[in-house]
Structure 1
Amino acid sequence: MKGIVFTEFLELVETKFGLEMVDTILNESELPSNGVYTAVGTYSFAEMVSLLTNLSKETGLVIDDLLLVYGEHFFTIVEKSYPSFLTQYTDPIEMLSSIENHIHVEVRKIYPDAELPTFTIEEKTSDSLVMIYKSSRAMHAFGRGLMNKTFEFFNTKATILVEKLKENGTEVKFSIATYE
């Protein structure tokens, strides 16, 4: 998993819960990296699981809720650092439907060894989208957070229904509909 995911996660934890919480979860987690991350480095996903598990334990918040907030936070990083990912689109449905064939292609140019989820489009209209998320990491709530902020960015209201196709969250169906 790319280091930027770790550095931004710890930044969010510090902002929301304080520097003491960052120290607590770093000390309680099993981290081969010793909690020292660089944005361009690559680290084990098990480290993120350990950090999330300990943050959940300390805050009483479930991991999916933490990932949702983190996804929303991470959108601001995309907006600031990679605005071209957003400005080339005029519509959130068009942007979300291009994740697999355009956005992930561009991400791989920046981070060639990034391990990204896959998104398969099942159905698309001008105001709706059904897509299947697949990832062994089961971070669909992070994706949902990114989607929430995508609609906000485009000043569009939407409902996003999430259906776990596999109980462990490694395969999820997103059914999205925009409205006035």
Structure 2
Amino acid sequence: MLGVVYIQFMEMIKEKFSEDVLDDLLDEPSLSTGGAYTSVGYYDHTDIIKLVVALSKKTDIPVDDLVEAFGKHLFAALIDKYPMLAEDKTDALEMLESVDNSIHVEVHKLYPQAELPEFKCIRLSDTKLQMVYRSKRPFSILALGLIKGCAEHFGEQLTISHRNADSDDMFETHFDIEKVA
């Protein structure tokens, strides 16, 4: 997993909780790096799972709620750092449609070793989109947070339903997304 994701997770913890909470989490003995991360590194995704679980225990906030909140935070942080990703997009659905064919292409230019999830989209109408998340990693709730963060960025309200269709070797979630007028 990209180091930039870890760095943004740590930023969210500092913003929403405190530097002390972050320091306590980074002392978790089972972390593969000993709690040291850089934005240009690549890390085992299980470390972020351990950090989220530890944060959930420390704050009594459910893991899924923390992961979704992180998705929203991550979207805003990435658009702040790379505003060109959203410059020519007119709405959230157009932005979401561009993930695989545009955004992930740019991510691979910056981080050639990145193992990114797939996002396949089918535009059902001007206001409806079906998006399928596929990954070797169990982060569909992070994807949900990113979708909600995208809606917030464009000042739009979306209704989102999702259902899992996981297989033995792949995590898959189908998102039905509709723009509320």
TM-score range, shorter chain: over 0.9
Give the AA of the match of 1:62. Answer: P
The answer for the alignment partner of 1:126 in structure 2 is 126
Per the alignment, in what secondary structure is the counterpart of residue 27 of structure 2?
Answer: helix
Counterpart amino acid of residue 143 in structure 2? G
Gaps of 5+ in 1: none
Give distance in 1, aligned partners of 2:123 and 2:87.
24
Q: Which runs of 5+ in 2 are unaligned?
A: none
| Partner-residue secondary structure (3-state), 2:68 | helix
Which amino acid in 2 is paired with 1:75? Answer: F
TM-aligned CA distance change 1:61 to 1:91, over 3 Å: same
Matches within 5 A, 1:147-158: 147-158=147-158
- Structure 1 counterpart of 2:175: 174
Q: Which amino acid aligns with 1:92?
A: A
Instruction: Tell me how far apart the structure 2 counterparts of residues 113 and 62 of structure 1 sit (CA, whole Å).
Output: 32
**CA contact under 8 A between 2:135 and 2:172: conserved in structure 1?**
yes
User: What amino acid is aligned across from residue 86 of structure 1 in structure 2?
Assistant: A
CA–CA separation in structure 2 for the residues paired with 1:102 and 1:138: 23
Contact 1:29 1:51 in 2 (8 A): no
Deviation, structure 1 residue 124: 3.1
Task: Give TM-score scaled by structure 2 length.
Answer: 0.92
SS at match of 1:28: coil
Please report the RMSD computed on the Cα atoms of aligned residues, expressed in angstroms: 1.8
AA partner of residue 170 (structure 1) = F
Identity of matched residues, % = 36
Count of aligned positions:
180
Aligned to 2:107: 107
1:85-108 residue CA offsets vs partner (Å, 9 max, x unmatched): 011211221111121111111111
2:140 paired residue number? 140
Q: TM-score of the superposition, structure 1-length normalised?
A: 0.92
